[in-house]
Chains A and B, each alone.
Chain A
Amino acid sequence: MRLGGVLVYLRTMALFVLAWYVGSLLVPSKLLLPSPLAVAAALRDTGLNGELFGNALISLVRLLASLLAAAAIAVPLGLLMGRSRLWNDLLELPVEMLRPIAGIAWIPLALYLFGIGHRLPLFIMFYTAFFPLLVGTAAGAAAVDKRLIAAARTMGLSGPSIMRRVIVPAALPAILVSARLAVAASWTAVVAAELVGAPNGLGYAIEYYRSMLSTPTVMAFIVTIGVLGFLTDKGLRQLSKVLTPWAQTGAAR
């Protein structure tokens, strides 16, 4: 990142922290709104004793694992749905019925099925990431320029080759955009899933310190989720630049 960009971020954050600080002076109870200084202290403490990184790492690994699992199924299925009338007819109705249901709505059932542990948050995040990936991939595959397919056909490529050499690369920008949506949605689901169904992770830590009435520490973990959410999105955008340099805004055609 360029230095100018960093300065813009810092300026925005400084204003935000200042407003927060003033707000915390006006709110009488430290329990309701702790000052940024208290949160910074909590970040330092949990950072030093390893709690912050340990829980963040667990949540991050769960998120990436569930994202990869969701992509492994949703992308091929989305390609089929986008290119084949038959597959689309077959899957459209169940997909459109399951998609509006929030992942966290499955928590009660998932608790019976999986109990408390890794599997419940993994399942909830998998569910949350699955539909943006599926729908985004299907839309991307359906929108592939017909002339590119025609060009490949006139060069004698078979159906599977065209899928691999034309449809997949042409739909890749759309797939990467849907991955960004999936990750953002997964971060919102991670807390809820771990709040209830996991013995560790950022969501678990938030719930634990809530019960201890330590709002600065709760806020410290909330801030961590925000930072991780930002960084994972940044990482995916960087990945899009590397994988699809030809499809960057402005230069694309």
Chain B
Amino acid sequence: MSAPKIRLDCVSKSFGGSVVAVEKLSLDIRDGEFLAIVGPSGCGKTTVLNMLAGLEPLTSGTMTLNGKPIEGPGAERGVMFQDYALFPWRTVRGNVEFGLVYGPAGQGLSPAERTERVERTIEMVGLKGSHEKYPHQLSGGMRQRVALARLMASEPEILLMDEPLAALDAQTRVILQDELLRIWGQDRPATERRTVVFITHAIDEAVFLADRVAVLSSHPGRLKQIIDIDLPRPRGDATRRSGDFARLCQSIWELIREEAYRATMN
């Protein structure tokens, strides 16, 4: 087994000295795997992602990418935010090309290559014909696609996604789960896939998408268990209906049920 892509070693994060969001989290993330992190609210999922993105410093512990410590944001780690964080003053095209035009991701690309990649990415997420629309003119599902396109256009090595589908209705969500797997490359051999860290509170979503699911407990956030999801790829509707799928969802639910109940009481 090769060295992990990302290694979290005894990572803790506290806010204001007293509130412990994440406690002694150790986790290896493998190259090319789709890792989902689930847990009840208050388990520090988003904090873990922000630390991976380099947006928040660790309180203690170490976090390495390809063996080097993560010290800040970097274009090799692309982030898709929970509420998309699209630039409202830029069109669909303007948002998708942003990282290529102004960030290091576009260095070495000719303007023609850049345009070609932006076009291809917009088409890939199904937004062809909406190039000149502004985010406020789009539905929630379309904004989500723009955010995905913006993430993919820069071709980062690692995709960090923070509950990207949480704000969508159930049907749109199922469709975008399928598309996410297609865009990620579930049809391609595992060595050609990008590494994904996907935060969600939806257990079925985590099981459907991921190779492994890391279950966190809350207050403070600790790693409870890592579950291998051995469902065959490519996955689709048949996966959702399978008994194995239901069994995996059930076993994860049992891990966090007690805490989830407690969270509803607060």
List residues of chain A with CB under 8 Å of any chain B CB.
Answer: 145, 147-148, 150-157, 161, 165-166, 169-170, 172, 244-247, 251-253
Within 8 Å by CB of A153, from B73, B87, B104, B137, lies: B73
Task: List 10 extra interface pairs beyond A147-B81, A154-B75, A154-B160, CB under 8 A.
Answer: A148-B85, A150-B55, A154-B54, A154-B79, A155-B105, A155-B154, A169-B87, A169-B89, A251-B136, A253-B88
Query: A145: which B residues are within 8 A, CB to CB?
Result: 85
Please determine whether A155 and B103 come into contact, CB atoms closer than 8 angstroms.
yes
Contact flags B49-87 to A (C-beta < 8 A → 1, else 0): 000011100000000000000001111011101010101
Contact of A148 with B103 at beta-carbon distance under 8 Å, contacts A154-B53, A155-B75 already known: no
Give CA–CA (A253, B83) in the complex, Å.
Answer: 12
If A147-B83, A155-B103, A251-B136 touch, does A246 touch B74 (CB 8 Å cutoff)?
no
Question: Contacts of A148 on B, CB cut-off 8 Å?
Answer: 85, 87
Q: How large is the interface on B (under 10, 10 to 19, 20 to 34, 35 or more residues)?
A: 20 to 34
Give the docked Cα–Cα distance between A157 and B98 (Å): 10
Neighbouring B residues of A161 by C-beta, 8 Å: 102
CB-defined contacts of B73 to chain A, threshold 8 Å: 150, 153-154, 156
Q: Say whether, besides A156-B74, A156-B105, A246 and B99 are in contact (CB < 8 Å).
A: no
The CA of A154 and the CA of B89, in the complex, are separated in Å by 19
> Do A155 and B98 form a contact, CB below 8 Å, given A166-B87, A247-B88, A251-B136?
yes
Asked whether, in the complex, the Cβ of A156 is within 8 Å of the Cβ of B83, the reply is no
CA distance A148 to B85 in the complex (A): 5
For B53, the chain A residues whose CB sits under 8 A away are 150, 154
Which chain B residues numbered 24 to 51 have a C-beta less than 8 Å away from chain A?
Answer: none
Interface residues in chain B, defined as those with a beta carbon under 8 Å from any beta carbon in chain A:
53-55, 72-75, 77-79, 81, 83, 85, 87-90, 98-99, 102-105, 134-137, 154, 160
Q: Which of A151, A172, A244 contacts B79 (CB 8 A)?
A: A151
User: With the chains together, A150 CA to B49 CA distance in Å?
Assistant: 12
Contacts of A247 in B (CB 8 A): 88-89
A157 & B102 in contact (Cβ 8 Å cutoff): yes
Minimum distance in angstroms from A3 CB to a CB of chain B: 28
24 A–B contacts, CB within 8 A, in A order: A147-B81, A148-B87, A151-B81, A151-B87, A152-B98, A153-B54, A153-B72, A153-B73, A154-B53, A154-B55, A155-B105, A156-B75, A156-B103, A156-B105, A165-B98, A166-B87, A169-B89, A170-B87, A170-B88, A170-B89, A244-B89, A246-B134, A246-B135, A253-B88
Q: What residues on A are CB-neighbors of B135 within 8 Å?
A: 246, 253
Once bound together, how far apart are the Cα atoms of A178 and B154, in whole Å?
A: 36
Distance (whole angstroms) from the CB of A23 to the closest CB of chain B: 48
Q: How many angstroms from the CA of A189 to the CA of B209 in the assembled complex? A: 65
Enumerate chain B residues within 8 angstroms of A150, measured Cβ to Cβ: 53, 55, 73, 79, 81, 85
User: B98 — nearest CB in chain A belongs to which residue?
Assistant: A155
Q: Which residues of B contact A169 (CB under 8 A)?
A: 87, 89-90
A170 to B102, CA, bound (A): 16
A143 to chain B, nearest CB (A): 13
B49 nearest CB across to chain A (Å) = 11
Q: For the complex, give the distance between the alpha carbons of A150 and B85 in Å.
A: 9
* In the complex, chain A residues whose CB is within 8 Å of the CB of B87: 148, 151, 166, 169-170
A244 to B90, CA, bound (A): 10
The docked-state distance in angstroms from the alpha carbon of A169 to that of B89 is 7
Indicate if the CB atoms of A154 and B136 lie closer than 8 Å. Answer: no
Contact A252 B81 (CB under 8 A): no
Query: Please, which residue of chain B has its CB at the minimum distance from the CB of A145?
Result: B85
In the complex where A154-B55, A156-B105 touch, is A172 in contact with B136 (Cβ < 8 A)? no
**Taking the nearest CB of chain A, how far is it from the CB of B141, in angstroms?**
15
CB < 8 Å: which of B85, B90, B137, B160 contacts A147? Answer: B85
